[in-house]
Amino acid sequence: MVEEGQRAEKNRSNRGSSVASGRQHVNGVNLYYEQTGRGKHAVLLLPGALGSTRTDFGPQMKSLDKERFTVVCFDPRGYGKSRPPARDFPIDFYERDAKDAVDLMKALGFGKFSMLGWSDGGMTALIAAAKNPDLVNKIVAWGSNAYICKQDLELYEAVRDVSRWSAKMRQPMEEVYGAELFAKTWEAWVDGIAKFENRPEGSICMEFLPLVRCPTLIIHGEKDPMVPAFHAHCLVKHIKGSRLHLMPEGKHNLHLRFADEFNKLVEDFLE
C-alpha cells in the first residue's frame, strides 16, 4: 500500500500486474520500495551487497504468484534509490538494515511477513527474525554466511578491484551508481565486512542463529564462487528446524540464473 504523503507511481510488469513504488520514511531515512501482488501472504525481498530492487530481484517481482503473495522489495539505506544518505558500514550495519526492513514493513501496514534474503540480505533477514520472532513467518536465505574466516577475506580481496570484473558483471551496478561511486562503495563494503574478522569467531550473526524460531530454508549453489558450502551447513546446524536445499549448478546468483526453479521452490516452502 502507498500511504498518503509518499511519492508514488505506477508501472506495469511483463505479466500485466501493477507495481506500486514509493518512498517511506523509516528511522530517519527515505527507503525506496516496490510492491506487487495481492495475496494474503506478505513477502519482503532483501538484496545483497550494494543491491537494489532494480538489480537483484527482477524475476521474483515479475513471476512470484501474485494471487498468493504480496511481494515487497526495497533498496536498503544508501543503496539504489534509497540515497541520500551515502552508504556507510559501521560494525552494526546488518543490524541497522534488519531494523530498517522490519520497520518498513510495519509502516506499510504488514503485521506479519516472510523474508527472502540473498547474500547480505540473508544475514539481515536472520537477524530480523531473531529480534522479531512474532513478526516473521518464514525465511529463505541463500548465498549467506554467519561468520568471516580467512578464506572469505581472500575471496573478497580478489574481487575488490571492480575494474577487473567483466563488463557484464559491472554494468547493472554502474547503471545504478555510476562507475566511480560503484567502485568506491564496493571497496567500502569489502573494508566493512572485513571488520567482522576482529569479532569473536569472526561472527557476523552467529549469536542470532539460535534465536531464529520460524521455519527457515537455506538454499546453496554448489558452484557459488563467493560463499563456500560450509557456510550453508553452518546455518542449518545452528538454526533449529531449518533445512538445506542444494542446487548443483547454482552459483551466487542462482535465483536469477535458475529463476523458475527457484521461484517454485520458494512458493512451495512459503505455502
Chain position carrying cell 545452528: 238
Flag whether pLDDT at 11 surpasses 80: no
Residue 10, pLDDT score: 35
Tell me if residue 39 falls in helix, strand or coil. Answer: coil
Chain position carrying cell 542446487: 247
pLDDT in tens, 62-113: 999 999 999 999 999 999 999 999 999 999 999 999 999 999 999 999 999 9
Q: Closest Cα to residue 15, out of 64, 77, 75? A: 64
Residue 17, pLDDT score: 62
Flag whether pLDDT at 166 surpasses 70: yes
Q: Closest Cα to residue 141, out of 75, 216, 205? A: 216
Flag whether pLDDT at 119 surpasses 60: yes
- Inter-CA distances, 49 with 75, 160, 183, Å: 11, 13, 13
What is the set of active-site residues?
Answer: 119, 224, 252
Whether 90 contacts 109, CB under 8 Å: no
Top-tier CATH class for 8-146+206-270 = alpha beta
Cell of 268: 512451495
pLDDT in tens, 133-159: 999 999 999 999 999 999 999 999 999
pLDDT in tens, 204-246: 999 999 999 999 999 999 999 999 999 999 999 999 999 999 9
Cell of 95: 543490524
Beta bridge partners of 220: 246
The stretch 191-214 carries a mean pLDDT of 97
The stretch 246-251 carries a mean pLDDT of 98
> For the chain, which residues make up each domain, given as ranges?
8-146+206-270
Rounded CA separation 23/58 (Å):
19
Whether 239 contacts 129, CB under 8 Å: no
Longest dimension (CA), the chain: 49
Residue 47, pLDDT score: 98
Whether 33 contacts 108, CB under 8 Å: yes
pLDDT in tens, 167-184: 999 999 999 999 999 999
